[in-house]
Amino acid sequence: MKIRIRREYVLSLVAVLLGLIAGAILMLAIGSNPLKGYLYLFQGGLMSIKRIGNTLATATPLILTGLSVAFAFRTGLFNIGAAGQMLMGGFAATGLALTLETVLPRPLVLLCTILGGTLAGALWGLIPGLLKARFNVNEVVATIMMNWIAFWTVNDGIPAYVRDPNQETQSRGISAVASLKADWLTSLFPGSYINLGLFLAILAALLVAFLLDKTTLGYELKAVGFNRNAAEYAGIKVNRGVVLSMMIAGALAGLAGVVFYTGYATNMQIGVTPSQGFDGIAVSLLGANAPAGAVVAALFFGVLQSGKGFMNAMTDIPPDIADTIIATVIYFAATSVLMERIWSAWRRKRSAKGAAAPAAAGKEAPPPASPDAPAAPKGGA
Amino acid sequence: MEAFAEPIVEMRNIRKEFPGIVANDDVTFTLRKGEVHALLGENGAGKSTLMSILFGLYQPERGTILVRGKEVRITDPNVANALGIGMVHQHFKLVHNFTVTENIILGRETRRLGVVVDTAAASRRIRSLSERYGLNVDPDARIEDISVGMQQRVEILKMLYRDAEVLIFDEPTSVLTPQEIHELMKIMRGLIAEGKSILLISHKLKEIKEIADRCTVLRRGRVVGTVDVAATTEARMAEMMVGREVSFTVAKGPASPGDVVLRIEGLDVMSTRKVLGLKGFSIEVRAGEIVGIAGIDGNGQAELVEAVTGMRRAEAGRILLKDRDITHDPVRQRIREGMAHIPEDRHKHGLVLDYTIEDNMILERYDQEPFSKNGLLHRPEIRRYAQGIVDSFDVRAGEGVDSLARSLSGGNQQKAIVGREIELDPDLLVAVQPTRGLDVGAIEYIHKRLVEQRDSGKAVLLVSLELDEVLSVSDRIAVLNHGDLIGIVDAAATNENEIGLMMTGVRKGEVA
């Protein structure tokens, strides 16, 4: 088990490396110096305390959507609906924040927004889960549709309930009371967007890891994911597992919405599907569907995301190159099976060459009188 | 077979490795023209690997293959076909809603004007081949309408149609009735008479003794020896294969049946094709007895097993376990009430292949103490429990209980499942094909454990397609045909012929 995961991490690292090489080739192709490009890209993400703070803040929702997708994957489900779950989580949190920020003390407001947003995401996962369990509706189709339902719900809900008096296309801004930004944290990373969401994300990663590896529930859900039939044979309630898995995945994405809309941002815009929902698939893939992997992968993507502007400012390289690198990394991570094949074919070839020498030597020696006749050492009769 | 018969296939010093295991190590053997050469070995001994190499599915790391004296590289099955090597797989590779002819010419269609498939010409050729080898196959029948035995003959025809000279049969009798096995033996002799050569992979010593000229025995990837079958005995071959003496007869005393453990009354079960697969089935299984269910595959066994174990709904009738109605209980409830189930398909149902052996051993009881408490798994206990099963059921795995179930050989996977189920200490053990694909050593062992289970006062319901197994292990035998219970007979007072006839639907006393 441990060995298997380690190999997957190696493959992910190779994917990252190949993605960076591909990016370098692209930079060369447009006549820029890739070394300089990467220097500024990583400097942009990491060179100052503020930039590190921003990188962490960018990575925070990615960690959570990555966890959402990874958790679903581990239990045999494909959650494409993280974007919609995130929107609903954000919408619920924003609504709660705006309603409660004037009446409750800060800790209670935060508790309500966090729980409310998480529950809204869970609900958005519950529906496809139920559809899958009850009517065998493919969760990919169902979650994509739920994304659109969320999109239009937010689109109509924001102007109807929480609109900014001056701007029809966005909600009112939440006050510092309801924001996940904390003074002590902001003062550690002055000027950055970093917020308490980071701790929520890390906590969620630990919880998911614990759930998957240490609990009977994780054991059940993984069994359902690996082999539905065997789970059924053993008396595990498969349908309950599917519903629960989708709910947990939805809850994680809902929490991503909370940390994004009430932590990184202060209000919600209509007409925007958060890209973190789909980026979560990439994070999960690169992180080998493991909680720790998702955290590392999200941080890596966070560096690229927050560094690309600086790279663009300092060189002629367009920020799209950073996106292309991300895309290429995803591409290589997704085709890691292929890379593995190439790798093992190459190894086979090498070992065949190594083996060929003694075999050739054997041929020069006189062949055995008859290859099979004396083959029964203990006597056949 | 005398030494002057020329070799048609020679495999020399073949070595094939898989991660952590050497499947074939310096294997050398020769198939002579016009002989039936059996390949005998325990599970994981490397027979299938060796044949897969010959058929081009695997590439060996070392060694050479000679066909008709010329060294060849068989890179894929098409190359094998071109060399005149054909294979009948254990699980037939046929398209069910195609006709016999369409199946046979698949991938080798003769065309007219480049696009139109000329089935008429192919059909004629198939008919003449069928007559020549006495296969008795109707080229225009649909696969779904013909018996399993005939499907196998279609596979044979497929090889003949492709002008195969060397025919590999992988466990060909595992799906056949005794009568069909007899028929197959005749066909094999016919093939030999027409100058073909046959490689027979089999566990069944009786068959090898009956049909094979020579037999190469593999053990743990190495050749133990090649013997002249006429000059040896079954016991001797078994010993070579297992490395120790093996007893064939299941040693058991007379049963002393006690209370009824399982009572089935008028059970109707739908098959997956939405027709009644089991009709009005009634039986009692008592503590301290083994009741065997005999029948050709697909005659209601699956429906019976799934209804009893709770994986399929009963349309009508009642199932009682220790006098408690469990007809509508969920699977887990039945397990807790004292039922264990060795499933027919170890990959589909028996194991979570991507779980470790350790995790697989608690598949039904991970939520019980001491394996977990308050929803948290207790690893040390799980490990100790799994290790205990692995030790006492001799499950061999590269990394012990940490091995992924997928990485084990079929026999070891099966032993793990049998161990897990017996370790549940059930009042009723439903064993479905418990020795499928296992070697004599493992079969002997599992049979012994089933009888032990009986002798300790438990009830065993044994469902098997192996007539030998049903006959030698059971105390009473119920025979199914088309979902009907044809009869229940005393195992000691019946024989292969009677059961074989009942399997085809002839009721006791009706023999024509």
- At residue B229, what are phi and psi to the nearest 5 degrees? -65, -40
Å from B412 to nearest chain A CA? Answer: 18
Residue that is written with structure tokens 């496809």 in the block? A128
Instruction: Give the range with max mean pLDDT: A56-65, B10-19, B51-60, B106-115.
Output: A56-65
Judge: A214–B350 Cβ closer than 8 Å, yes or no.
no
Q: How many interface pairs between A and B have CB atoms less than 8 angstroms apart?
A: 118
Regarding predicted confidence, which is higher, A265 or A7? A265
Partner-chain residue, chosen from B12, B59, B363, that has the shortest CB–CB distance to A234: B363
**Rounded average pLDDT over B56-74:** 91
Report the first-to-last Cα separation within chain A, whole angstroms. 47
Contacts (Cβ under 8 Å, ≥6 apart) of B348: A227, A229, A230
- Across A6-20, A123-137, A258-272, least confident range: A6-20
Which residues, 6 or more positions from B411, have their beta carbon under 8 angstroms from its beta carbon? B42, B43, B44, B437, B438, B439, B442
* Ordered DSSP codes for A297-362: HHHHHHHHHHHHHHHHHHSS--THHHHHHHHHHHHHHHTHHHHHHHHHHHHHHHHHHHHHHHHHHH
- Rounded to whole angstroms, how far apart are CA atoms B255 and B271? 33
Tell me the C-alpha distance between B364 and B366, whole Å.
6
The predicted pLDDT at position A376 comes to 35
CA A170 – CA A168 distance, rounded (Å): 6
Q: What CATH class does B247-338+428-435+456-512 carry?
A: alpha beta
Of chain B, the end-to-end C-alpha distance in Å amounts to 41
Q: What pLDDT band is residue A6 in, cutting at 50, 70 and 90?
A: low
pTM of the model: 0.75
3-state SS track over B97-144: CCEHHHHHHCCCCCEECCCEECHHHHHHHHHHHHHHCCCCCCCCCEHH
B404·A1 Cβ contact <8 A: yes
Region A9-33: mean pLDDT is: 86
**Is B295 within 8 Å of B503 (Cβ atoms)?**
yes
Q: How many residues are present in chain B?
A: 512
Over residues A313-329, the pLDDT tens digits come to: 888 888 888 788 878 87
What is d(CA A152, CA A145) in angstroms, rounded to the nearest whole number? Answer: 11
Given this model, what pLDDT does residue B290 score? 96
Q: Cα(B352)–Cα(B345) distance, rounded to whole angstroms?
A: 12
Confidence of residue A370 (pLDDT cuts 50, 70, 90): very low
- Give yes or no for a contact between B340 and B310, defined as CB atoms under 8 angstroms apart: no
Q: With the CA atoms of B499, B500, B504 and B508 taken in that order, what torsion angle do they form, in degrees rounded to the nearest 10?
A: -30
Residue B391's pLDDT band (cuts 50, 70, 90): very high
Q: Which of A8-12, A98-102, B477-481, B495-499 has the lowest mean pLDDT?
A: A8-12
Cα–Cα dist B330/B339, whole Å: 12
Which has the closest alpha carbon to B383: B398, B356, B401? B401
Percentage of residues in chain B having pLDDT higher than 70: 96
Contacts of B250 (CB under 8 A, 6+ apart): B447, B448, B451, B472, B473
- 8 Å CB contact of B363 and A375: no
CA separation for the pair A253, A63 (Å, rounded): 10
Cβ density class A323-350: b for 16+ within 10 Å, e for less: ebbbebbbebbeebeeeeeeeeeeeeee
**CB of A148 within 8 A of CB of A80?**
no
CB B285 within 8 A of CB B260: yes
CA distance B375 to chain A (A): 5
Closest CA to B43 of B480, B426, B470, B396: B396
Average pLDDT, chain B: 88
Radius of gyration of chain A (CA): 26
When CB atoms are compared, the residue of B10, B349, B355 closest to A233 is B349
Supply the DSSP symbol for B427.
S
By the 10 Å C-beta count (0-12 exposed, 13-18 middle, 19+ buried), A156 is classed as exposed
Computed over every residue of chain A, the mean pLDDT equals 86
Among A216, A222, A240, A244, the residue to mutate for chain B (most B Cβ within 10 A) = A216
Question: Cβ contacts of residue A124 below 8 Å, gap of 6+?
Answer: A81, A84, A85, A88, A89, A146, A150, A250, A253, A254
Q: ipTM score here?
A: 0.78
CA count, 13 A, side-chain hemisphere, B151: 21
The DSSP line for A167-223 is EEEEEPPPPTTT-S--HHHHHHSTTS---THHHHHHHHHHHHHHHHHHBHHHHHHHH
Helix residue ranges per DSSP H, B34-98: 47-54, 77-82
Please list the residues that pair with A219 across neighbouring strands.
Answer: none
Query: Is the CB of A235 less than 8 angstroms away from the CB of B332?
Result: yes
**Residue B410: what pLDDT?**
77
The pLDDT value given to residue B116: 75
pLDDT for B120 beyond 70: yes
Name the residue among A82, A88, A111 with its Cα closest to residue A294.
A82
Contact at 8 Å (CB) between A248 and A231? Answer: no
Query: Helices then strands (H, E): number in chain A?
Result: 15, 2
Q: Which DSSP letter does residue A215 get?
A: B
Q: Is the pLDDT of residue A361 over 50?
A: no
Write down the CATH superfamily of domain B7-242.
Answer: P-loop containing nucleotide triphosphate hydrolases (3.40.50.300)
CA–CA separation, B40 vs A299, rounded Å?
A: 56
Task: Output the pLDDT for position B217.
Answer: 92
Residue B309: CB atoms within 10 A of its CB come to 24
d(CA B169, CA B211): 13
The reported pLDDT for the residue numbered B497 is 85
Q: What is the structure's pLDDT at B510?
A: 57
**C-beta separation of B407 from B351 below 8 A:** no
List the single residue in A with minimal CA-CA distance to B230. Answer: A381
Contact B353 A226 (CB under 8 A): yes
Which pair of tokens denotes residue B310? 């709770």
pLDDT at position A349 over 70: no
Of the candidates B169, B170, B226, B160, which has an alpha carbon nearest to the alpha carbon of residue B7?
B226
Whether residue A107 has a cis bond before it, omega within 30° of 0: no
**Nearest CA of chain A to the CA of B351: how many Å?**
6
Is A2-342 a CATH 1.10.3470 domain?
Answer: yes
3-class SS at B213?
coil
Return the amino acid letter for B9: V
For testing contact with chain B, the best of A5, A217, A227, A239 (most B CBs within 10 A): A227
Does position A359 have pLDDT exceeding 60, yes or no?
no
Q: Quote the CA–CA distance of A345 and A342 in Å, as a whole number.
A: 5
Those residues with Cβ within 8 angstroms of residue B384's Cβ, 6 or more apart along the chain or in another chain: none
Q: What are phi and psi of B259, to 5 degrees?
A: -70, 160
Pairing of strands B372-373, B316-321: unpaired
Nearest 5°: phi and psi at B38? -90, 145
> Strand, helix or coil at B217?
strand
Tens of pLDDT, residues A123-146: 999 999 999 999 999 999 999 999
The DSSP symbol for B405 reads: G
What is the per-residue pLDDT across B279-324, written as a single tens digit (0 to 9) for each? Answer: 999 999 999 999 999 988 788 999 999 999 999 999 999 999 999 9
Scanning A348-377 for CB atoms below 8 A from B yields 348, 351-352, 355, 359, 362, 370-373, 375-377
Angle at A124 between CA A122 and CA A126, to 5 degrees: 65
Please give, rounded to a whole number of angstroms, the shortest distance from the CA of B100 to a CA of chain A.
32
Sheet holding B85-88, edge to edge: B85-88, B166-170, B197-201, B36-41, B214-219, B222-228
Between the alpha carbon of residue B94 and those of residues B150, B199, B301, the distances in Å are: 12, 21, 23
Instruction: Name the residue ranges covered by the structural domains of chain B.
Output: 7-242, 247-338+428-435+456-512, 345-425
Q: Over the stretch B330-380, which tens digit does the pLDDT of each residue have?
A: 999 999 999 999 998 888 899 999 999 999 999 999 999 899 999 999 999
Q: Do domains B7-242 and B247-338+428-435+456-512 have the same CATH topology?
A: yes
User: How big is chain B by its Cα radius of gyration, in Å?
Assistant: 24
Torsion of the alpha carbons at B497, B502, B507 and B512, rounded to the nearest 10: -50
Cβ burial, residue A12 (10 Å; 0-12/13-18/19+): buried
Residue A364 has pLDDT above 60, yes or no: no
Q: Does the pLDDT value for residue A354 go beyond 50?
A: no
pLDDT at residue A44 greater than cutoff 80: yes
Amino acid in the structure at residue B390: V
Which chain B residues are Cβ-neighbours of A223 within 8 angstroms? 352, 355, 363
Does A1 contact B310 at a Cβ distance shorter than 8 Å?
no
